[in-house]
Structures are given as C-alpha cells and as structure tokens.
C-alpha cells in the first residue's frame, strides 16, 4: 500500500487518485495531449507555452510551419532575432527565442540534430540533461520528457497544485518535486496514464477548479464532498 502524509496521518491515496482519474476521463474523454505532429514540434510547444495561453502558441507554431522552420538544422542556422519575430504571437518572444535556440543547439551539436537521440539516456540522466539547458525548468523539461519523448514522468503546473489544495490531497504549500512525488508514488508508472491525467487536470482547472472554484458543478464533486 502506498501512502502519503496529510493532516497528521498516513493515508492511502492510490485508490482515490485512480477514482478521480476515472471520473475526469468519463466527463472529458481522452485529451490526446500534447498536440503536435512530431517530438520536435511538441518540444518547441513546451517552451513557447511558458507564461501564455495555448492559442498563442498555436499561432507561433503555425508561423514556423508556414516557413518550413520545424527543422533542427534550420532552427540552428536562423538568427535569434529572426526567430523571435516568427514566434512573436507566443509572447515574451525574445526570451523564448533564446531558450528555443539553447535547446536546438543541444540537439544539433550533441545529438546529431535528431531529438530522438535524447532517448538513449535513462530517465534520470535525460531529465538532468534537459534541465541543464538554460531556460528549461522542471515543468518544461518534464513536458518534453513525457509528451515528446514518452517517458513516465508526471508534469506539475499551477492547475495541479490548485487541484490538490481544493481536494485536500496535500496539507501545506506544495513545491514542484513534492507534488510530482505524490503522483508518481501513488499511481502506476505509465506514460499514457501520466499523459492523460495531467491533461485532464488542466481541463478541470480551466473549467471548474478555478481560483474561485465551481465546486457544485464539478465532475469531481463526489470526491470533493467525500
């Protein structure tokens, strides 16, 4: 039995988390996240989505596609300023262009321009390699690992933390690693499950689990009022 420390006692949360997943999946269906045709496009999207809405990322990626720029060599060769202008709809485009170039430089110079070659690392080494890239933090790096490289790691974001707090699954101010550990120790280690679960929590956060939560309408009200 896997347990977690909350409100002064040891509690088994494995069953509860799977029940929550079933309720969300029944309500929303498969999310099929992360949208993207290739691992490279998904990795680019993970950087561009920092501090902006996904609709803005889609516009930036469409710009890249229209110029046939979803290519490691072309992204490596392009000037950072020119790249910034292409991804302008994503916001903070000068910063994001530099971060994107940092990732592309890693892929091109150390992995022969093939993002799939990153898969030769084990999970721990891969994560450290991604986090060593300037501008890639835990959420972005884990998103690349899970969604682009199919590694079983749970992605944590603001929606995840709010969901835990609203459902009293964690007592205290959750930090990234603690929240990630909570999910990974209480769920089967499975890429598909982690993928769908995080995407479902994002949908929940956008629709119901807001800063002013809509609890009576929430598909998880059965769990909330348990």
Return the structure tokens found at 13. Answer: 């949360």
d(CA 96, CA 40): 15
pLDDT > 70 fraction of the chain, expressed in percent and rounded:
92
Q: Which of 114, 129, 142 is nearest to 47 (CA)?
A: 142
Give 48's contacts (C-beta < 8 A, 6+ positions apart).
57, 60, 61, 87, 90, 96, 100
Q: What is residue 69's predicted lDDT score, i.e. its pLDDT?
A: 98
Q: What is residue 12's predicted lDDT score, i.e. its pLDDT?
A: 76
Q: What is the pTM of this model?
A: 0.91
More confident residue, 39 or 1: 39
Average pLDDT, the chain: 92
What's the whole-number mean pLDDT along residues 38-47? Answer: 98
pLDDT > 90 fraction of the chain, expressed in percent and rounded:
82
Enter the DSSP assignment of 146: I
Specify the residue for token string 């939560």: 213
Q: Which of 41-45, 172-176, 192-196 has the lowest mean pLDDT?
A: 172-176
Helix (H, G, I), strand (E, B) or coil at 153: coil
What tens digit of pLDDT does each residue of 12-39 get?
789 999 999 999 999 999 998 898 999 9
The CA-based angle 12-14-17, given to 5 degrees, is 120
d(CA 121, CA 49): 25
d(CA 72, CA 39): 11
Q: Is the pLDDT of residue 155 over 60?
A: yes
What's the whole-number mean pLDDT along residues 42-61? Answer: 96
Q: Is the pLDDT of residue 8 over 80?
A: no
Complete domains list, the chain, with CATH = 3-30+155-224 (1.10.1670.10), 39-148 (1.10.340.30)
The CA-based angle 155-226-173, given to 5 degrees, is 40
What tens digit of pLDDT does each residue of 97-148 get?
999 999 999 999 999 999 999 999 999 999 999 999 999 999 999 999 999 9
């Amino acid at each position: 039995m896997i347990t977690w420390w909350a409100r002064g006692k040891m509690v088994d949360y494995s069953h509860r988390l799977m029940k929550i997943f079933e309720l969300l999946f029944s309500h929303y269906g498969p999310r099929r996240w992360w949208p993207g045709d290739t691992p490279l496009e998904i990795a680019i999207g993970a950087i561009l989505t920092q501090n902006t809405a996904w609709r803005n990322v889609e516009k930036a990626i469409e710009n890249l596609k229209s110029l046939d720029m979803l290519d490691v060599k072309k992204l490596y060769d392009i000037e950072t300023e020119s790249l910034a202008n292409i991804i302008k709809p994503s916001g903070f485009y000068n910063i994001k262009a530099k971060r994107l170039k940092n990732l592309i430089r890693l892929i091109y110079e150390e992995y022969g321009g093939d993002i799939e070659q990153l898969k030769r690392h084990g999970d721990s080494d891969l994560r450290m390699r991604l986090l060593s890239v300037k501008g890639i933090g835990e959420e972005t790096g884990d998103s690349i690992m899970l969604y682009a490289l199919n590694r079983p790691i749970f992605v944590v974001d603001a929606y995840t933390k709010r969901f835990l707090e609203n459902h009293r699954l964690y007592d205290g101010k959750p930090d990234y690693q603690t929240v990630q550990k909570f999910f990974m120790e209480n769920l089967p280690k499975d890429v598909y499950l982690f993928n769908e679960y995080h995407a479902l929590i994002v949908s929940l956060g956008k629709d119901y689990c807001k800063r002013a939560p809509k609890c009576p309408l929430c598909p998880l009200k059965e769990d909330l009022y348990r």
